[in-house]
């Protein structure tokens, strides 16, 4: 026995973990319950009989999920199974979107929680149904969306500061790395609304929230390599998971003192018979939404930062790439901004009146959505759609974004046309033409009751940032630069390496 213990102690920890993972995978593969109901859908990239972990199929999915989905739609029909990097899931054609959109038994939060291992320390911002989750959604619904007009001027002021810092006032042509600077700028704008003036320019906060988003994606990917039954303990040994926990601890160290200072100030003012100071930010909204209920404000703030920063900076990066080489469109956008701001100066109607810009943003999202399949759902129980399509409990679903690139829906669909949705709006189809509208053919914000609740704020933020960029800078692609979207699994990201040439110009009106 002592000899056996000595041998075990001499084996590296990683080797022992790998051996255990292999045994667990064998057990899971042979003894998991049958899924006959899901097996009626064809599997377009099934593993070979000798491939225990479907390694080849998962690797192919990671680099070419879009190609696999296109192949499935052409050869397997409108509903099929796909081996992803996190198990087999069902892909549906765009026509299913309306059937899924308001079904209460098909849940987005659950699949997000599973994708990001929300039960594991460090991934708490992804937990569904927690007090943090409920308070977050209440603050978004009741305050962030409701108070949009009052946020316009603070966002505009912050955009001026952020652009001057990251793009400078240099009137000569010079290069910037677009994606990186957009992430910094959107992070600062969002933090102004989420945290107020105390932390919105704090370099440590801006850095750690950016880090957390990137690290969460990496840590989630690293955990998917391991069988599900091992993840609840193996995460302690994975470097990316340790880094994620460190990020979250730093977030708490930054947020909690600010919130405690506010609470003490409220108590002091109340004792002196004074009205509490008013704060126009999400930190205050969450305090109001909590109504004394215990919650973790740092986790709630990270939830907001993740929702806004990564997607917002990616959208802004892509739309600037799309505008390069479109001088007439840039000219028309500038004229629209000058006309609208001169008349209304960021009041309630300003954002709505930027109709060409709205069209440009929606067209950019149509051409390059956040993923090749969206509207992801988890079946909380056996579910039947209106057309009779059935999914067993536990099924993971997604809807292909391929309708966005269908010439029968959008003529010359692969060509960027910034005026496309403006023409649709002018033809009377306002409901489907707006950037924040959801529909089966443009799924960028999802569709139905579980569509992105923060999309109205996102639209305001992007329009304000883009207004500052267009009026204050000339821009063009750097020499030999041809932006190419990058893919990882389902996700499509604007080129993070492409560089932009910019120069400061004198704006015709003050924003």
Residue 242 has pLDDT above 90, yes or no: yes
Q: Is 452 annotated as a binding residue?
A: yes
pLDDT band at 129 (very low <50, low <70, confident <90, very high): low
Task: Give per-residue pLDDT as tens, 321-354.
Answer: 999 999 999 999 999 999 999 998 888 789 999 9
Q: Residue 20's pLDDT is what?
A: 47
Q: Residue 201's pLDDT is what?
A: 92
What residues contact 489, with CB distance under 8 A and at least 6 apart? 61, 62, 65, 84, 85
Note whether 138 and 446 are within 8 A (CB).
no
* Window from 39-53, 94-108, 144-158, 296-310 with minimum mean pLDDT: 39-53
Q: Residue 187's pLDDT is what?
A: 95
pLDDT band at 435 (very low <50, low <70, confident <90, very high): very high
The three-state (H, E, C) secondary structure of 385-454, written as one string: CCCCCEECCCCEEEEECHHHHCCCCCCCCCCCCCCHHHHHHHCCCHHHHCCCCCECCECECECHHHCCCC
Q: Is the pTM of this model over 0.85?
A: yes
Q: How far apart are CA 20 and CA 41, in angstroms?
A: 32
Q: Which tokens sit at 280?
A: 């126009």
Task: Give per-residue pLDDT as tens, 461-492.
Answer: 999 999 999 999 999 999 999 999 999 899 99
Q: How far apart are CA 502 and CA 442, in angstroms?
A: 31
pLDDT band at 8 (very low <50, low <70, confident <90, very high): very low
Note whether 431 and 439 are within 8 A (CB).
no
């Amino acid at each position: 026995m002592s000899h056996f213990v000595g041998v075990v102690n001499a084996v590296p920890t990683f080797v022992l973990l790998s051996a255990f993972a292999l045994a667990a995978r064998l057990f899971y593969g042979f003894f998991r319950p049958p899924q006959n109901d899901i097996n009626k859908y064809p599997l377009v990239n099934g593993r070979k009989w000798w491939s225990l972990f479907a390694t080849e199929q998962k690797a192919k999915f990671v680099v070419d999920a879009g190609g696999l989905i296109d192949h499935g739609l052409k050869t397997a029909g409108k509903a099929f199974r796909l081996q992803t990097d996190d198990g087999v899931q069902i892909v549906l054609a765009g026509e299913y979107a309306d059937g899924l959109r308001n079904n209460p038994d098909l849940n987005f939060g659950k699949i997000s929680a599973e994708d990001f291992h929300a039960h594991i320390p460090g991934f708490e911002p992804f937990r569904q149904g927690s007090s943090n989750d409920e308070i977050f959604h209440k603050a978004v619904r009741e305050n962030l969306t409701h108070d949009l007009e009052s946020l316009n001027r603070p966002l505009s002021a912050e955009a001026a500061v952020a652009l001057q810092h990251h793009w400078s006032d240099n009137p000569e042509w010079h290069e910037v790395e677009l994606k990186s600077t957009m992430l910094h700028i959107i992070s600062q704008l969002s933090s102004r609304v989420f945290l107020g003036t105390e932390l919105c320019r704090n370099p440590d906060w801006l850095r750690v929230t950016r880090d957390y988003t990137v690290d969460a994606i990496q840590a989630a990917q690293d955990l998917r390599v391991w069988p599900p039954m091992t993840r609840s303990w193996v995460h302690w040994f994975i470097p990316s998971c340790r880094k994620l926990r460190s990020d979250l601890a730093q977030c708490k160290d930054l947020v909690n003192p600010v919130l405690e200072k506010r609470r003490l100030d409220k108590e002091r003012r109340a004792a002196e018979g004074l009205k509490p100071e008013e704060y126009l930010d999400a930190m205050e909204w969450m305090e109001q939404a909590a109504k004394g209920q215990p919650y973790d404000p740092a986790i709630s703030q990270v939830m907001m930062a993740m929702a806004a920063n990564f997607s917002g900076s990616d959208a802004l990066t892509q739309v600037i790439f799309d505008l390069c080489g479109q001088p007439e469109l840039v000219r028309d956008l500038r004229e629209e901004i000058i006309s609208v701001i001169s008349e209304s100066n960021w009041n309630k109607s300003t954002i709505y009146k930027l109709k060409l810009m709205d069209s440009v943003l929606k067209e950019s999202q149509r051409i390059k959505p956040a993923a090749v399949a969206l509207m992801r759902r988890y079946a909380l129980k056996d579910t039947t759609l209106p057309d009779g399509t059935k999914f067993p409990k536990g099924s993971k679903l997604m809807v292909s974004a391929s309708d966005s690139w269908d010439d029968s829906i959008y003529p010359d669909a692969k060509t960027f046309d910034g005026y496309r949705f403006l023409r649709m709006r002018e033809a009377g189809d306002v409901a489907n033409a707006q950037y924040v509208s959801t529909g089966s053919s443009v799924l960028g914000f999802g569709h139905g009751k579980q569509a992105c609740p923060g999309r109205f704020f996102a639209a305001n933020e992007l329009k304000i940032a883009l207004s500052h960029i267009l009026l204050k800078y000339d821009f063009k692609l750097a020499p030999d630069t041809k932006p190419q979207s990058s893919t990882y699994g389902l996700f499509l990201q604007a080129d993070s390496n492409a560089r932009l040439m910019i120069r400061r110009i004198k704006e015709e009106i003050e924003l």
